[in-house]
Structure 1
């Protein structure tokens, strides 16, 4: 039997064929089912068969997209990064990068969809990952993928004269600012909005991690 390929983010909707959109929709349905079952029974109490049944797909369809039950949550975890990169891409080249990054981070983590569902799901998964190395590995891989996809977005905003090393460092810092903020927030019962919310923590982290970077100051 051929080994399934690991999940990787698909191109934006405008670049997808109908078949790709259907595949992406199926992956997201499976991810939502996995997250719901993990919340109800924990990763240890959930099987791939359970997830497939909840998602309304055959078990072979599940394994067509994912190697194991933990990987099934990747598409849902990736939506936050997809959203914030899309918002950052809306900024005009030449906009001060510090402003652009903070605005995109704040908008993405304050979005009604993120506040209403995404952040609480992420909090539950991060808590579960504390005792599940495979789930934690998925979280880190999703963030690595997000960082790699962020590089060309920042490069476009920074302009052709930008130092490639500085662009890479900024992409890493911005990704880690969000990752660490979500991890810290997930350890608390703080609401997803207001003081010490993910949006506030991410902006604070972003400022700390990017303080003094030439690419932000325009030097």
Structure 2
């Protein structure tokens, strides 16, 4: 019973953090980084300022949960992929599935990321959060990739695959964010990221299931 209570508490905390992250991203997109205050973010999210500082150190740090959600989703897709699938195919499918827009909510989420990445062009703190989240995702992805590799796979290969996959998604989103291309179609992040990963993977000694 106590474990369930802790789990529910953690879920509520995560939901609050994501609400704050969404509010921060919206304001950064609408107003630009310099015009946004922590007070404004808290007000938009419907939380007290002390609640904001319970979870985040700065206004820029507040967007991290929003950026992390996508990374968590695609790692989960890879972990659930067919264990007999070729590594490149399994990773490509997970990347594509995580970025593929299937409804209005998904499109809105990518457009919000676009606005955030555009805002980060002029704000070093926001860029720092973006790179930090990508770095953390890469570290976690090594574990997932390692579980799919052959027992004798070199650690360097596992690390390179995780780095290539993470970089492919990051670069695809960054490139797309600087265009006015829609979140669906041949120039959408899902297609750009898969193409980038396959290009990088062509030079990697990927083996295994």
Partners of 1:157 and 1:174 lie apart in 2 by: 14
Partners of 1:206 and 1:191 lie apart in 2 by: 21
Give the C-alpha shift of residue 161 in structure 1.
Answer: 2.3
Task: Report matched runs for 1:101-120 at 5 Å.
Answer: 101-112=91-102, 115-120=106-111
Q: How many residues align?
A: 204
Match of 1:20 in 2: 10
Give the C-alpha shift of residue 86 in structure 1.
Answer: 0.7
Runs of 4+ more than 3 Å apart? none
Partners of 2:102 and 2:111 lie apart in 1 by: 12
Whether the aligned pair in 1 keeps the contact of 2:101 and 2:184 (CA below 8 Å) is no
Alignment TM-score, normalising by the size of structure 1: 0.88
Query: Equivalent of 2:168, from 177, 186, 193?
Result: 177
Query: Equivalent of 2:158, from 151, 157, 167?
Result: 167
Partners of 1:22 and 1:159 lie apart in 2 by: 39
Task: Report matched runs for 1:33-182 at 5 Å.
Answer: 33-112=23-102, 115-182=106-173
Whether the aligned pair in 2 keeps the contact of 1:92 and 1:157 (CA below 8 Å) is no
Which protein, 1 or 2, shows the higher relative CO under an 8 Å CA cutoff with sep ≥ 6? 2
Partners of 2:7 and 2:94 lie apart in 1 by: 27
Partners of 1:160 and 1:90 lie apart in 2 by: 19
Alignment TM-score, normalising by the size of structure 2: 0.92
Give the C-alpha shift of residue 20 in structure 1.
Answer: 0.9
1:195 lines up with 2:186 in the alignment = yes
Gaps of 5+ in 1: 1-13
Deviation per CA, 1:132-182, whole angstroms, max 9, x where unpaired? 000000000010011011111111111322211100110011000100111
Partners of 1:36 and 1:56 lie apart in 2 by: 14
Gaps of 5+ in 2: none
Match of 1:5 in 2: none
Give the C-alpha shift of residue 94 in structure 1.
Answer: 3.4
Give the C-alpha shift of residue 93 in structure 1.
Answer: 2.7
Whether the aligned pair in 2 keeps the contact of 1:80 and 1:118 (CA below 8 Å) is no
Partners of 1:211 and 1:175 lie apart in 2 by: 15
